Amino acid sequence: MTKRALKRQLREGAFDAGQFEDDGKIRRLPVADRAWSPLAHHNDDRDQGRDQGYVKTIKAKSPGQQELIDAIDAKNLVMALGPAGTGKTYLAIAKAVEALEAGKVGRIVLSRPAVEAGESIGYLPGDAEDKLAPYLRPLYDALSDRLSMKRVRALMAEGAIEIAPVGFMRGRTLNNAFVVIDEAQNCTYGQLKMLLTRLGWHSTMVVTGDPNQSDLLPELSGLGPVADKFDALANIAVVRLKDVDIVRHPLVAEMLSVL
């Protein structure tokens, strides 16, 4: 105890908490339940151990999405085919983040082909990484919806999350990883064969794409033929989502039915 504190104690006397017990004007404030919500059912997704942070749980919004989630849980290689807006990429990345957070895999590898959708980006300034950024942006968007961008950047700096175009995947063996190949309809048969054979031990690979929205010539896209051949393999799941599984604006399903 310091000299100043000792003098104050001698002058004022030692603090006795008991002297306040019978004073009706002094009350202990009630301890609020930090997890309380006016709507009881809103507490279901509250994680008490993360400083009041909400944990987004993956919930299927259609039978097709539930089939996809079950297939990812059961198989090491899953192909998810379906129209735009069915949640193929989102569910795949959500399951990848879930596996990484649970310690089931050591890293997430996300890849998609850098195929121009009718316009060239070669004129854009910057190096190769800058030119590829627009193609990989959808993957960043899906990741940031499951994790904060700060945590995404930290995991990428650690090497726990890797985002790369298809052309950078040749010659690799992906062990202990959750691999998502997005926009696979823009991969040729040879590219898909190369990507699928990257699968290593203790890894899961999900290939997503819409065969009807390929930026390649119809005879060049390899997604449809590969999926047809994998239908006969029991250890590989091929999930084909339909228009009824679209979870975007209702007009998307109506447009796709006539386009």
Contacts of residue 195, Cβ cutoff 8 Å, sequence gap at least 6: 111, 166, 169, 181, 184, 187, 207
> What average pLDDT does range 4-14 have in this prediction?
63
CATH of domain 63-258: 3.40.50.300
Whole-number pLDDT of residue 93: 93
Q: How does strand 77-81 pair with strand 204-209?
A: parallel
Better-scored residue on pLDDT, 31 or 109:
109
- Tell me how far CA of residue 126 lies from CA of 118, 121, 166, in angstroms: 21, 11, 20
Which of 7-21, 62-76, 181-195 is predicted with the least confidence, judged by mean pLDDT? 7-21
Q: In this model, does residue 67 exceed pLDDT 90?
A: yes
Instruction: Quote the pLDDT of residue 132.
Output: 67
- pLDDT band for 51, please (50, 70, 90 cuts): very low
Q: What is the mean pLDDT of residues 137-163?
A: 88
How much is the pLDDT for 45? 46
Residue 146: its pLDDT value, please?
Answer: 87
Parse the chain into domains and list their residue ranges: 63-258
State the chain's mean pLDDT as an integer. Answer: 79
pTM above 0.85, yes or no: no
Which sign does the torsion angle of CA 116, 122, 125, 130 carry? positive
pLDDT at 254: 79
pLDDT digits (tens, 9 = 90+) for 78-110: 999 999 889 999 999 999 999 999 999 999 999
Return the closest-CA partner of residue 236 out of 72, 9, 48. Answer: 72
Percent of the chain with pLDDT over 70: 72
Residues 6+ apart with CB under 8 A from 60: 66, 68, 69
pLDDT for 229-245, tens place per residue?
999 999 999 999 998 88
pLDDT of 3 reads 66
